[in-house]
């Protein structure tokens, strides 16, 4: 029985933590298959699960509902994502009331991406605006960060200056965008520590099991594929069974290397696939207790 749902405390008290990201169903799509995937994922006993907000076409309205299910029915601590750019103060206040009512303590404060028709008058410009509002309300707060620079920022140094403002507004931890070269993470972590950012930086790992999907994701996020990984995708990308095995092996190796080099917390972008998360966690038996 979990008694402490606070992610800051969970990371501090574990030697190696592995958490999972899930996304709610798209609008007008049934909730049951996602609920079933989430229940399977919860049986693998992640340190916590995060539920995205509107990302990849997932409906915002389902985020809190699914997050509440994760915590109350599956007994797994939850992190609810919340974006602010396309929202306003009134809607965010409503979301905060719903989060409180659902007993959710942890929120990943995000700006979100701008649709092309966004109006000029906005209550929130950056994720840090949301952090400032949420902080006095007693939530444990996370934020996103980008080891290969956020695609809209022209220089990593500038992006880290902005990140420092977001952290100083009241973040308890950060989660990185996916990366496929651990050296990118370690270099970035050194930059963050030099900039005075000392909170935990959870390493975001995407197990790639579909060659076509990864080309699209990397294009949107600006994530680079190292040659070794590109060779795997080129060789096995069109064969689902081979790509699954190769993707699981690559992600496992990345995680083992991160833990061996002192990283305490890893977040798996599960894409709602329990079978992938299970194979990785089986590989980590003995390391993650
Ligand atoms: P911010 O921290 O606000 O940064 C956005 C840009 O603004 C950056 O280029 C930054 O350098 C710049 N900036 C920040 N502050 C300033 C300032 N004071 N002055 C000038 N420039 C500034 N999207 C979803 O829609 N739903 C999700 O659930 C979701 N989950 C995510 C989870 C993770 C772990 C990650 C890494 C991303 C996620 N995203 C999600 C994507 C995210 O919303 C986008 O990447 C978005 O473009 C940026 O959001 P942010 O919170 O990082 O923005």
- Measured from the CB, is residue 267 less than 6 Å from ligand 1? no
- Give the global pTM: 0.96
Query: In the predicted model, what is the mean pLDDT of residues 93-122?
Result: 89
- Name the residue with the closest Cα to ligand 1, atom 7: 126
pLDDT of 58 higher than 60: no
Whether 184 maps to a domain, the answer reads yes
Q: How far apart are the CA of 112 and the centre of ligand 1, in A?
A: 6
Whether 100 maps to a domain, the answer reads yes
Contact yes or no for 19/50 (Cβ under 8 A): yes
pLDDT of 80 higher than 60: yes
Whether 289 maps to a domain, the answer reads no
Q: Residue 132: what pLDDT?
A: 98
Minimum mean pLDDT range among 12-16, 113-117, 140-144, 262-266: 113-117
Higher pLDDT, 33 or 211: 33
Whether 156 maps to a domain, the answer reads yes
Atom of ligand 1 nearest to the CA of 109: 51
Minimum mean pLDDT range among 48-62, 100-114, 252-266: 48-62
Whether 102 maps to a domain, the answer reads yes
Query: In the predicted model, what is the mean pLDDT of residues 9-22?
Result: 97
Compute the C-alpha angle 210/211/216, nearest 5°: 100
- Measured from the CB, is residue 55 less than 6 Å from ligand 1? yes
Provide the residue range defining the domain that includes 160. Answer: 7-283
Considering only CA atoms, which of 86, 95, 154 is closest in space to residue 120?
86
- How many structural domains comprise the chain? 1
Atom of ligand 1 nearest to the CA of 153: 9
Atom of ligand 1 nearest to the CA of 52: 28
- Measured from the CB, is residue 166 less than 6 Å from ligand 1? yes
Atom of ligand 1 nearest to the CA of 158: 11
Residue 55: band (very low, low, confident or very high) from pLDDT cuts 50, 70, 90 = low
Q: Residue 36: what pLDDT?
A: 96
Instruction: Dump pLDDT digits (tens) for 61-74.
Output: 799 999 999 999 99
Residue 220: band (very low, low, confident or very high) from pLDDT cuts 50, 70, 90 = confident
Task: Supply the mean pLDDT for the chain.
Answer: 93
Task: Determine the Cα–Cα distance for residues 91 and 125; give it in Å rounded to an integer.
Answer: 15
* Widest distance between CA atoms in the chain: 53
Mutate to test the pocket of ligand 1, among 19, 150, 177 (most ligand atoms within 8 A of CB): 150
Q: Residue 216: what pLDDT?
A: 79
Q: Residue 56: what pLDDT?
A: 56
Residue 206: band (very low, low, confident or very high) from pLDDT cuts 50, 70, 90 = very high
pLDDT of 123 higher than 80: yes
Strands in the chain per DSSP E? 17-22, 49-51, 78-83, 106-110, 140-145, 173-176, 201-205, 265-269
pLDDT of 215 higher than 90: no
Whether 2 maps to a domain, the answer reads no
21 is catalytic: yes
- Name the residue with the closest Cα to ligand 1, atom 14: 162
- Measured from the CB, is residue 50 less than 6 Å from ligand 1? no
The domain spanning residue 121 has which CATH number? 3.20.20.220
Q: How far apart are the CA of 265 and the centre of ligand 1, in A?
A: 21
Instruction: Dump pLDDT digits (tens) for 228-246.
Output: 998 999 999 999 999 999 9
Instruction: Tell me how crowded residue 230 is: count the other CB atoms within 10 A of its CB.
Output: 16
């Amino acid at each position: 029985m979990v008694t402490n749902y606070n992610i800051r405390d969970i990371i501090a008290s574990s030697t190696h933590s592995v958490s999972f990201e899930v996304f709610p169903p798209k609008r007008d799509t049934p909730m049951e298959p996602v609920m079933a995937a989430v229940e399977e994922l919860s049986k693998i006993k992640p340190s916590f699960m995060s539920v995205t907000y509107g990302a990849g076409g997932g409906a915002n309205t389902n985020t809190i509902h699914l997050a509440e299910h994760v915590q109350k029915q599956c007994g797994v601590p939850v992190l609810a994502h919340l974006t602010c750019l396309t929202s306003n103060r009134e809607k965010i206040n409503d979301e905060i009331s719903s989060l409180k009512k659902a007993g959710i303590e942890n929120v990943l404060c995000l700006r979100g991406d701008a649709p092309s028709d966004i109006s000029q008058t906005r209550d929130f410009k950056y994720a840090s605006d949301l952090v400032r509002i949420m902080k006095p309300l007693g939530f444990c707060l996370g934020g996103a960060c980008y080891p290969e620079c956020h695609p809209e920022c022209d220089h990593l140094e500038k992006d880290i200056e902005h990140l420092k403002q977001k952290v100083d507004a009241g973040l308890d931890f950060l989660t990185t965008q996916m990366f496929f070269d651990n050296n990118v993470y370690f270099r970035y972590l050194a930059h963050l520590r030099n900039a005075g950012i000392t909170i935990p930086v959870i390493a975001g790992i995407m197990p790639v099991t579909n060659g076509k999907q990864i080309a699209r994701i990397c294009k949107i996020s600006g994530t680079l594929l190292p040659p070794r990984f590109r060779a795997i995708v080129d060789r096995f990308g069109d064969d689902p069974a081979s790509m699954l095995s190769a993707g699981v092996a690559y992600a496992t190796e990345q995680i083992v290397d991160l833990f061996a080099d002192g990283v305490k917390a890893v977040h798996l972008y599960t894409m709602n696939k329990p079978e992938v998360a299970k194979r990785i966690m089986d590989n980590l038996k003995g390391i993650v207790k």
